[in-house]
Amino acid sequence: IASYINVCGRKDSNYDQCLAENIKNMKDKICTGFPEFNIPPIEPLMFDKIVIFETKDLKLYLRDVNVYGFCDYVVNSIQTNPERLHFDINILFQQLYINSTYDFDMRLLVRVTNKGPVEAVIESVRMKSDIDLKTITKNNKKHIFASKVNNFIDTKSFTYKFLDDSKELAQLHKILSDVIDNNKKEIIRAVKSRVEEKASRIIILIFNGIARSNYEQIFPEKT
């Protein structure tokens, strides 16, 4: 077992705290990867395209999206049900940073289009992860794996900056800023749904990579 993983007894009184410490200990590994388990670094989270709006008169996409900040988190709480094989984990990410290219197409009196680099910062991102686990016995050895993960992200707002700030684009950026500022809830909803989905796959990848074949070593009944 890797040195940063504590053995957590399922029937120990400090089981939840032990698991929380393990999650804290993995902070740096989120960015550097878990080579001993063949798990690559998960940061940045990358998306080819996130659709914000796609209507006849307004199209706004984020392309080549990179999201950073997943290594800086606080484990606010963890609740487990060892018998039901279920974890509820609440995590706070201090800041998430987004680098992307906006792709804007809007019809006013004339058609207005442009693509350009944009940065965004999201403060105090809370994520609740509901993790369902299952066990199987194979060749007289018990294995555990994450079968389902649902993430729920909560954040209220964000700041952003266009990086192509030439004078020629000032009017276009004013139009685009008005669209963004008047639709922040919709933008947050579009981005967070994609992050929630990808984060679920990553949690399954990490948990199964580390714990699947090490059930009795990591989660014995008693330590």
Quick one: pLDDT at residue 218? Answer: 82
Quick one: pLDDT at residue 18? Answer: 93
25 in Cβ contact with 5 (< 8 Å): yes
Quick one: pLDDT at residue 10? Answer: 86
Q: How do 141-154 and 45-54 pair as beta strands?
A: unpaired
- Phi and psi at residue 206, in whole multiples of 5°? -70, -50
CA angle 183, 54, 66 (to 5 degrees): 70
- Full set of structural domains in the chain with CATH: 33-215 (3.15.10.30)
Blockwise average pLDDT, block size 10, the chain, 223 residues: 86 91 91 91 96 94 97 94 88 97 88 93 97 90 92 95 88 93 95 97 94 81 79
Quick one: pLDDT at residue 93? Answer: 96
Position 103, amino acid: D
Quick one: pLDDT at residue 215? Answer: 81
Q: How do 111-138 and 159-162 pair as beta strands?
A: antiparallel
Quick one: pLDDT at residue 51? Answer: 97
Distances (CA, A) of 168 to 114, 165, 172, 173, 174: 12, 8, 8, 10, 11
